[in-house]
Amino acid sequence: MDPLILTQGLNVLFAVTLLVIIVLGLAVVFGWLGVMNLAHGEFIMLGAYAAVFTNQHGLPFILAVPLAMLVCGTVGWLVERILIRPLYARPFDLLLATWGLGILIREVVEAFYGGGFHNVPVPVAGAVDVLGASYPAYRLLIIALAAPLIGLMLWWYLKSSTGARVKAMVGNPELAQAVGIQTDVLARNTFIFGSLLAGLAGVVIAPLMSANPYMGLDFVITAFFAIIVGGLGSVLGLFVGSGIIGGLDSVVSAILNRTTAYLLVLAIAVFFLWLRPRGIFSRV
């Protein structure tokens, strides 16, 4: 095979995989729990700064994983308790409060680390030869790592039918209570789980792009679009939405340019929000 085409193909695969990793957490929080968390990107950013922290203190990269989970889990727990719980039934206010939260997290991080960019060295350097095409090893590692990450989410989703219970709780909270689901506990755990996935995504991303306090904005918006295109609450939709948004973006970027790709992604997002707000694969 032509190495150039192969490289481009790997690029598209990588772009989609990366987007899936970014979307996973929001798929849990927004797609299943129905919380339009505009601060989700900031949880990803916190994860990236966990990698910045371990790097600055000369610790192994892998330690960023437990650190990110600790930070994002704690913040997620606090946020659910203080901010999200009173607002489940007030979607506008939820949107605004989480936007405010996003600013808050950005500014706090900026107060500690400044507004500049922080690089994290790639933990697995070098390139690997794939069928004649030389491709960065860390990118390949991410494509490989996506599998266990997605597996983790699916395990949680399927484990003692947690995913079904979350759907049940969101669709019919009274009946969910009646069959014995402690809805407040389940909602809290779901939110924390989504925050943890965001933190993990941040760690994975940190070596690929410089960490800075504003990095979360693009992530959350792209992730929202992918979920809306794919369909809220659908596992299959998550992959299809990420595939369409991420694939389109990288293919059009390669053929034409980044701006056209971005405009196209926005146009598709507007189309779905307007005419197909339930996406391609919506639940029910």
Task: Note the residues at the interface with another protein (CB under 8 A).
Answer: 36, 83, 86-87, 91-93, 95-97, 99-101, 103-104, 107-108, 110-111, 160-161, 164-165, 167-168, 170-172, 174-183, 217, 221, 224-225, 228, 233, 259, 262-263, 266-267, 269-270, 273-274, 277, 283-284
DSSP 20: H
Phi, psi (5° rounding) for residue 133?
-105, 135
CB of 241 vs another protein, minimal distance in Å: 14
Nearer to another protein, 135 or 191 (CB): 191
**In terms of CB distance, is 4 or 179 closer to another protein?**
179
Phi-psi region of 100 (alpha: psi -120 to 50; beta: other; left: phi over 0): alpha
- Residue 119 or 177 with smaller CB distance to another protein: 177
Residue 118, classed as helix, strand or coil, is strand
- Structure-derived torsion over alpha carbons of residues 205, 210, 216, 222, reported in degrees to the nearest 10: -60
Rounded Cα–Cα distance for residues 110 and 87 (Å): 27
For another protein, which is the closer residue by CB, 5 or 255? 255
What is the nearest approach in angstroms of another protein to the Cβ of residue 128?
35
Contact yes or no for 204/145 (Cβ under 8 A):
yes
CB of residue 283 to another protein, shortest distance in Å: 5
Q: How far is the CB of 222 from another protein (least distance, A)?
A: 10
| Residue 75 beta carbon to another protein: minimum distance, rounded to whole angstroms | 14
> Is the distance from CB of 48 to CB of 117 less than 8 angstroms?
no
11 or 282: CB nearest another protein = 282
CB of residue 138 to another protein, shortest distance in Å: 30
Q: Are 192 and 77 in contact (CB under 8 A)?
A: yes
Whole-number minimum distance, CB 79 to another protein, in Å? 10
> For the chain, what is the largest distance between any 2 Cα atoms, rounded to a whole number of angstroms?
60
In the complex, least distance from residue 253 CB atom to another protein, rounded to whole angstroms: 14
What whole-number distance in Å separates Cα of residue 247 and Cα of residue 268?
Answer: 13
Judged by CB, which is closer to another protein: 70, or 175?
175
Nearer to another protein, 98 or 195 (CB): 98
Q: Distance between CA 195 and CA 27 in Å, rounded?
A: 11
The three-state secondary structure class of 114 is coil
Please name which of 151, 127, 121 lies closest in space to residue 20, comparing C-alpha atoms.
151
User: Would you put residue 131 in left (φ > 0), alpha (ψ -120 to 50) or beta?
Assistant: left
Decide whether 150 or 264 has the Cβ nearer to another protein. 264
